[in-house]
Every structure is written in structure tokens, then in C-alpha cells.
């Protein structure tokens, strides 16, 4: 409610709700509320309160975080990042702002509050989810790189024109489960494979490691399979697409959105490999509602910790481990080891245990490095005590 007695904003709004097509402006106290016939009542009310729209991905989580901050400033969503600048959208019908990220750890998808002068990002609202990997593969200092923030669903994109890569998918699944978003596997370039048996083999191969995670095949060129992918994008939901360069993430997004908003590598190369065409992560709106987040292809997927990612991505092995005779079984040669028994019986591929051990070792090494960061106080997220007794 507007507290200005001379104001007829509420009356105007009521009239607008009745006619659902008028543009209302209350200039006196800074209201600027464009209303279109498509806008639903919650959106109208949200705009009245200077609260971001649910269609932009604003949820009760951010409302609570912002309330704790005293509802200062005007939150906006980071649509794109370019060399230290954020493109921030505060309302779907507004022009985006360009704001500097000086000293702020910002990722695309973040909700941020720009400073009063609009010059820089002042606050990054606590994330609901974040897809984080280790920034550099070789460097000996552990640094986090947040590929995408506040995502609801993550499409892990693999090309059907290459042999299925279970090991890469396992890593991506660990990060996806850790992120808090729901993983979905997308096998792209369906049009390039004619033999249904080949498609079936690839789907089955990835399903073997993607326990309970849906696997869909699609083509950004023929648009086959796109309807299924669209079902994941309900109003205001954000879907991030992740995968190696050249697997067709931008092509899929363009096909889903229905235009060529994103640059793709459309020069057909002999080996079909990408050349890092997308250089900045970017949120693109879906006409039917929801957001797609394009990301530059990543060559290697290095872990960053960690919640329950490993346990969830390897739930099959962890379930077996609960049945080992010894609680501190290392699953090497102990009697009564349920994991080794399953491998022997052919119900668990031996390579699953091998992958798990490798990832746990990588995680343990990272935990040591990160302890330094924790002390420096610059690490977000929850630290998990190292697993005891389950591995050497
Ligand atoms: N035949 C076929 N080609 C595709 C398909 N999707 C993408 N391509 C081609 O694959 C190449 C790379 O596609 P992009 O969409 O740019 O790949 P990307 O994953 O966005 O790559 P980066 O931005 O480098 O990470 C281009 O030549 C596309 O035309 C598809 O479904 N079928
Ligand atoms: Mg791309
Ligand atoms: Zn065991």
C-alpha cells in the first residue's frame, strides 16, 4: 500500500487489474510499473512492493535473505559477465544495468544489490544453488570457479557423435549434485547418428552411471527431442547447460528459444569439435517462461567441494558399502566386502569403485588445500569433515 494520502496509485492499480492492459506510473515516490495483459497478479503485486518478479527467478529464499538485509537497495539478477562487469536486470521490462564487480564474487544467475550510485555490485545474495568447479586444472593453489548460480536444473550435455564418456559424466554429476540443482543428461546431435542401436548404446552407457537421472537425446538442428527438454523450464526456472566445447549447447539454446540469440560455431569442421565459441556465461529467456544459461565449454571438470555430491553420484557403491562386514572396510581384499562381491557377481562394474576411489582421493587432497582458504575466510559453502574409515 502506498502511504502517500494524495496518491491514487492503489486506485490506479485496481483499475489496471480490472482492465489488465494499462501502464501505471506513480512518479511521486518512484514507482514505475509497466503492466501488460500477460502479467499475472503476483507479478503486479511484487512490482508494487519493489520486489523482483518471480518470473526472473526470485523465490522466497531471496525474499528472506533480502529481508534480513533490511530490504536495502534494489536486487537484480546477473544476466551476463564480461571482464569485471555484470549485466544486471532488476525487472523484466526494464533496461539492464551495467555494474562493476569490484571485489565481489559474482556468477551469472546471482541476485545482487548494486551500490546506491549504481557503480558496483555491493552485495551478492546468498545463493540457492551454485555449480562450482576448481578454477585451474594445473595450478597448485585451490581456487573456486562458480560456473553458474541459482540454477534449478542443470543439463549435462554430451554429443552423440562421440563415444559416451562415463568418467566425465561421473564428475559432472558430483558437481551437479553438490550444486543443489537437479541434473539431467542431454545427448545432443541426435541427427548425426542414424543407427538406433548406436543411440541406444550411448543412452544405456550414460544411464549406467547416471543413477535415477533422466537421459534424453535431442538435436538442436532438427529440433527432435526439444519438447521433452522444454518441460524442465517451468515459469521462472533456470536451466544451465554445461558440457565440453562444441557439444552444441548454444545451438540447443537457440533452438529452444526459437531464434539465433547466441553465437554458435556454425562453420562445419571436419572433426565436429568446438572452438570455444561461447566466451561468457549468459542467461537467455525462454518465450514460454524460464531461463536458459549458456556457458563456455569446459575441457576438464575438476572437483570443488562439496556437500553430498559424491555420495549421491555413487549411491550404488555407498549402498553396497553399508553391507561390508567391517565398518572400516577399504574394499581392497577384505573378507565379507559387499562391494567386491558385487563386482565379482557382475552387478557392479569394477570401474565404478575405481572412479569413486579416485574422486574421493581428489576430494581429500582438495580439502587440505581448502583449509587454507577457509582460514582466509573466502570460501563459501559448507565444509564437510573428511570421511573416516571407508577408504585408505
Ligand atoms: N548436426 C548437428 N550439429 C550440431 C548440433 N548442435 C550443434 N551442432 C554443431 O556443432 C558445432 C558447435 O555447436 P555450438 O552450439 O556452438 O557448441 P557449444 O557447446 O555451444 O560450444 P562452446 O560455445 O564452444 O562451448 C556447430 O558447428 C553446430 O552447428 C546438432 O544437434 N546437430
Ligand atoms: Mg556455445
Ligand atoms: Zn568393502
Residue 265, pLDDT score: 67
- CATH superfamily of the domain spanning 130-294: P-loop containing nucleotide triphosphate hydrolases (3.40.50.300)
pLDDT of residue 249: 94
CA distance 178 to 301: 14
pLDDT, residue 142, reads 66
Give the number of the atom of ligand 1 that is nearest the alpha carbon of residue 243. Answer: 19
Atom 13 in ligand 1: which residue has the minimum CA distance? 248
Contacts for 87-93 with beta carbons within 8 Å, 24 or more apart? 88/112, 88/114, 88/121, 89/56, 90/52, 91/47, 91/52, 91/53, 91/56, 92/53, 92/55, 92/56, 92/285, 93/34, 93/36
Set of cell numbers at residue 361: 582421493
Q: Which residue shows C-alpha cell 499475472?
A: 40
Whose CA is closest to atom 3 on ligand 1?
189
Return the C-alpha cell found at 268.
562445419
pLDDT tens for each residue of the chain, 392 residues long: 344 433 333 333 332 222 222 222 222 222 333 344 455 665 555 555 578 999 999 999 999 999 999 999 999 999 999 888 999 999 988 999 999 998 888 999 999 999 999 889 999 999 999 988 877 655 556 677 888 999 999 999 999 999 999 999 999 999 999 898 999 999 999 999 999 999 999 999 999 999 999 999 999 999 999 999 999 987 789 999 999 999 999 999 999 998 776 666 654 444 445 466 777 788 999 988 899 999 887 777 777 766 688 999 999 999 999 999 999 999 999 999 999 999 999 999 999 999 999 999 888 887 777 776 666 654 444 344 344 344 54
Which residue shows C-alpha cell 562439496? 306
**pLDDT one-digit tens code per residue, 35-85:** 444 556 655 555 555 789 999 999 999 999 999 999 999 999 999 998 889
Pocket of ligand 1 (CB under 6 A): 188-189, 191-192, 219-221, 245-251, 264-266, 268, 274, 276-278, 296-297
Distance between Cα 267 and ligand 1 center (Å): 9
pLDDT at residue 140, rounded to an integer: 59
Secondary structure letter of residue 311 according to DSSP: H
Tell me the C-alpha distance between 185 and 52, whole Å: 31
Domains of the chain, residue spans: 1-48, 130-294, 309-376
Predicted local distance difference test score (pLDDT) of residue 281? 84
CATH class of 309-376: mainly alpha
Q: The pTM is what?
A: 0.80
Kindly tell me the burial class for residue 218, based on how many C-beta atoms sit within 10 Å of its own C-beta (0-12, 13-18, 19 or more).
Answer: buried
Q: Nearest C-alpha to atom 23 of ligand 1 is from which residue?
A: 278
Q: What is the pLDDT of residue 296?
A: 85
Predicted local confidence at residue 376, as pLDDT = 60
Compute, in angstroms, the gap from residue 164 CA to the centroid of ligand 2. 20
Residue 238 Cα, ligand 1 centroid: separation in angstroms?
21
Which grid coordinates are listed for 84?
Answer: 569485471
Q: State the Cα–Cα distance between residues 114 and 56, nearest whole angstrom.
A: 17
Which of ligand 1's atoms lies nearest the C-alpha of 264? 16
Decide: residue 31, CB within 10 A, 0-12 exposed, 13-18 middle, 19+ buried. middle
Predicted local confidence at residue 183, as pLDDT: 96
Strand partners, 120: 100
What is the end-to-end Cα distance of the chain in Å, rounded? 63
Ligand 1 atom closest to residue 245's alpha carbon, by position in its atom list: 25
Burial 337-374 (b: 16+ CB within 10 A, else e): bbbbebbeeeebeeebbebbbebbebbeebbeebeeee
Could you tell me how far CA 30 lies from the centroid of its own chain? 34
Amino acid at each position: 500500500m502506498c502511504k502517500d494520502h494524495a496518491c491514487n496509485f492503489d486506485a490506479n492499480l485496481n483499475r489496471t487489474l480490472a482492465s489488465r492492459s494499462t501502464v501505471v506510473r506513480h512518479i511521486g515516490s518512484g514507482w514505475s510499473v509497466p503492466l501488460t495483459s500477460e502479467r499475472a497478479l503476483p507479478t503486479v503485486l511484487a512490482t508494487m512492493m519493489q520486489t523482483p518478479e518471480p518470473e526472473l527467478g526470485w523465490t522466497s529464499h531471496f525474499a528472506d535473505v533480502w529481508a534480513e538485509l533490511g530490504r536495502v537497495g534494489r536486487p537484480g539478477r546477473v544476466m551476463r559477465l564480461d571482464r569485471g562487469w555484470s549485466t544486471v536486470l532488476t525487472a523484466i521490462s526494464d533496461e539492464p544495468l551495467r555494474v562493476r564487480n569490484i571485489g565481489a564474487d559474482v556468477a551469472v544467475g546471482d541476485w545482487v544489490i548494486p551500490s546506491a550510485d549504481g557503480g558496483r555490485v555491493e552485495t551478492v545474495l546468498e545463493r540457492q544453488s551454485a555449480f562450482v568447479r576448481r578454477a585451474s586444472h594445473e595450478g597448485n593453489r585451490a581456487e573456486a570457479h562458480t560456473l553458474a548460480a541459482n540454477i534449478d536444473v542443470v543439463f549435462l550435455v554430451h554429443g552423440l557423435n562421440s563415444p559416451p564418456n562415463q568418467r566425465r559424466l561421473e564428475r559432472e554429476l558430483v558437481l551437479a549434485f553438490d550444486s543443489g540443482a537437479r541434473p539431467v543428461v542431454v545427448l545432443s546431435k541426435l541427427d548425426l547418428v542414424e543407427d538406433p542401436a548406436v543411440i541406444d548404446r550411448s543412452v544405456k552407457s550414460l544411464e549406467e552411471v547416471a543413477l535415477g537421472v533422466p537421459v534424453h537425446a535431442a538435436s538442436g538442428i532438427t529440433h527432435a527431442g526439444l519438447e521433452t527438454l522444454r518441460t524442465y523450464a517451468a515459469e521462472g526456472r533456470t536451466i544451465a547447460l554445461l558440457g565440453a566445447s562444441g557439444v552444441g549447447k548454444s545451438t540447443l539454446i537457440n533452438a529452444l528459444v526459437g531464434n539465433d540469440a547466441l553465437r554458435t560455431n556454425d562453420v562445419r569442421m571436419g572433426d565436429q569439435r568446438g572452438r570455444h565459441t561461447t566466451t561468457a556465461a549468459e542467461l537467455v529467456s525462454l518465450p514460454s517462461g524460464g531461463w536458459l544459461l549458456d556457458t563456455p565449454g569446459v575441457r576438464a571438470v575438476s572437483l570443488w567441494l562439496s556437500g553430498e555430491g559424491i555420495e549421491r553420484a555413487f549411491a550404488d557403491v555407498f549402498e553396497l558399502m553399508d553391507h561390508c562386514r567391517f565398518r572400516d572396510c577399504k574394499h581392497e581384499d577384505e573378507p565379507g566386502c559387499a562391494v567386491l562381491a558385487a563386482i565379482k557377481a557382475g552387478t557392479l562394474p569394477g570401474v565404478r569403485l575405481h572412479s569413486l576411489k579416485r574422486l574421493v582421493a581428489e576430494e581429500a587432497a582438495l580439502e587440505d588445500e581448502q583449509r587454507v582458504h577457509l582460514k582466509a575466510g573466502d570460501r563459501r559453502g559448507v565444509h564437510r569433515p573428511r570421511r573416516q574409515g571407508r577408504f585408505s
